[in-house]
Amino acid sequence: MKIAIGSDHGGYNLKEKVKVLLDDLGFEYKDFGPANTDSVDYPDFAQEVSFGVSRGAFERGILICGTGIGMSIAANKVKGVRAALCHDLFSAKATRQHNNSNILAMGERVIGSGLALEIVKTWLGEEFEGGRHQRRVDKIFKLEE
* Residue with smaller CB distance to ligand RB5, 67 or 91: 67
Shortest Cβ 38–ligand RB5 spacing (Å): 12
- Show Cβ contacts of residue 125 under 8 Å, excluding neighbours closer than 6 positions: none
* Residue with smaller CB distance to ligand RB5, 4 or 65: 65
With contact defined as beta carbons under 8 Å apart, do 33 and 49 qualify? no
The residues that are catalytic are: 65, 98
HSE at residue 93, side-chain half, CA atoms within 13 A, is: 5
- Show Cβ contacts of residue 121 under 8 Å, excluding neighbours closer than 6 positions: 21, 25
What does the binding site for ligand RB5 look like in residue numbers (CB under 6 A)?
Answer: 8, 10, 42, 65-67, 69-70
Shortest Cβ 34–ligand RB5 spacing (Å): 11
* Residue with smaller CB distance to ligand RB5, 73 or 115: 73
Peptide bond into 43 cis (omega under 30): no
Q: Which residue's C-beta sits nearest to ligand RB5?
A: 70
Shortest Cβ 120–ligand RB5 spacing (Å): 18
CA distance 78 to 45: 13
